[in-house]
Structure 1
Amino acid sequence: MKVDWDIFCTVVDNYGDIGVTWRLARQLVAEHPCAVRLWVDDLRAFERLCPELDISASQQWQQGVDVRHWPADWQATDAADVVVAAFACQLPHAYMEAMAARERTPLWLNLDYLSAEDWIVGCHGLPSVKFQHVQKYFFFPGFQPGTGGLLRERELLVRREQFQANPVAQREFLQGLGVERAPEARLISLFAYENAGLADWLEVMANATQATHLLVPEGRVLGDVARWLGQPELAVGDVQQRGALTVQVLPFVRQDQYDLLLWCCDFNAVRGEDSFVRAQWAARPMLWHIYQQEEEAHLDKLEAFLTLYTNAMSPAARAALEGLWRAWNSGEGMAAAWVGAQEHWPELQNHARAWSLEQSLRADLAAALVQFYLNWI
């Protein structure tokens, strides 16, 4: 019998929260005996990821998922067998009462943010607070054994291998976005927050001997790109060239298309959590713009991931990659850091593939959640 799941998502940072929960909901429906309701408080942000969405509907079906608008004036609703509060969002009090009123107590999970910090291994799966007799548990995605793993659809890496081995498919996909890639150009995607270090990076690529085609989907970094180009603004379809650097603005694409974009590129600069994980599955060298937190707590998360990610690299390549990521996240020193990374490009490429393979040997997040429920009952 299918197990009923309710996933609650409050949209905090544009697309990160809804990106993770939408991907998880679809995978639970497609690959496991689960019926999923996805409760979202901001359907406009959701619409960018799922253009078919009707933002005026309180309930609709999208790709097998029962999508519900999470209203401010909550109406009485029966609780599901498994309740996932994504990223510590606060459930409606009336829904918590419904959880407590069930004949069979539901499994209540707090799906937390992704981190490589050591302490999450000890906290993953532990009980958290209680509401009446309903116990909540911590569930941490992660990169290490003893965590909840990463979101990864069952056939994802097979599809990636087939796509990356098919230059015709790649060319047709890029042409669908209006991109004509020159054979000698390195293709880079840029999806980032605002960054003071961007001009430094763009300048060094423009002055390089290696041609670069930079693809910039609509997003927050676009204003910085426009300023470097001396333009008041940039729009989808704009193409500008400065020296060896061609800059092209892409539309905001849905999740499956973004995967293909990452798979096409030689290097991917990404932001947040969902794009960060997808760039790792692309098995290409990458650069992560981590979301800034108060008191610079995000830097501890950055360093924890770098420690894991670079562990098997040579000392020189490790220093170069760490220098690049730190420069990007501090907003300075990108020119020297980028030049330094080029000296180790073959190792960065090989390591990206090895890391993707290593992570794929662990259970994915959706499977780990289902197994946690089975163990719990």
Structure 2
Amino acid sequence: MDARASEGGLAAAAAARPAGPTVAVLAGLSLSHLLNDLIQSLLPAIYPLLKQTYHLDFGQIGLLTLAFQLTSSLLQPVVGLSTDRRPQPFSLAAGMLLSLAGLLMLSRASSFASLLVAAGLVGTGSAIFHPEASRVARLASGGRYGLAQSVFQVGGNAGTAIGPLLAAFIVVPHGQSSIAFFAVAALAGFVVLSLVGRWYRARLALAATRPRRAAGAGPAPSRPRVVATVAILLVLIFSKYFYMASFTSYFTFYLLHRFGVSVQESQVLLFVFLGAVAVGTVIGGPIGDRFGRKPVIWGSIVGVLPFTLALPHANLFWTVVLTVPIGLILASAMPAILVYAQELLPGRVGLVGGLFFGFAFGMGGLGAAVLGELADRTSIETVYTLCAFLPAIGLLAVFLPRVGGSVRGA
């Protein structure tokens, strides 16, 4: 089954269900995304603990993130391309089991090499989860694609935000072995995704009994135009996630070094930023459904620039205040970018999910490694001074063409 045939089958499945989003499925995807990303967020959340225990430098901290992010980013497009051709309803649950294995290994790791392997296992689980989950979210959207992607993605953002808090109050006081406690989250995610897989399998079976319809209408853009547009979108994701890496991997160190806060206080303040990221993800998709993808993409990335430029010069109070609009505005772009790319490449939902989530994670990992070396050679403050200019790359969004033939695709 090729990609367009698979998409035609999904269209038939979509036609078989009532109009409007399938709320239970979207809720299950969002909850499982929360649990999946909560597990992933434990690794950067315990960096201060690992740094002290294993006497790591910032470069090694960056390599840990790189091991997780590159495993995820390199595999995701492969998984997405494969599931475009042959959807795998229960691959979601299988990915969660791999994350569980990585989590348990992380709790028992006794060397830097074993930490790297554990990070890679969690990354592999993520690579399997994201492309197919993104496809199921679109299938369950009832045509409200931006809303569905926001609901799906906000679960991940919420998990990323909650993880550091749980690490601060569970792992930091009780040590590395207490990470095993979070196996409960992985098992819960496995159960939820097994139920989602059953729904997905039933829809695919129903689709096989119905005539396939075309995935889209209207003339397709030329191949060079598609390639150029995808390149612009990937550059925008580079600016977003490279900057985000400065927060997810090093914001706690920045707060500790510059303002002298405690480890637990730094985790709480990181939660403020990540909570704002979750809210931004929620509002980005519906606004894109209403006003178009391109305005959201352009405004969310460039609009954050004044706040990022001010951050390195702020005191502790204003640093915390500025992280709220930074997280809110920056995160609103991702649902719009993903749906825009899906409309640009009809029939390639899995590939789009794998490519864009994978590239985002890869840029986060590369950013963590590069910024870690920069911090070692200069200072952690220099990292935030230089990263403040990254959102200016969002000006490239003005070159994005209209897609979808309406303001919703604009």
TM-score interval, smaller chain? under 0.3
* Structure number with bigger Rg: 1
Higher relative contact order (CA 8 A, sep 6+): 2
Q: TM-score, normalised by structure 1?
A: 0.25
Structure richer in strand, relative to its length: 1
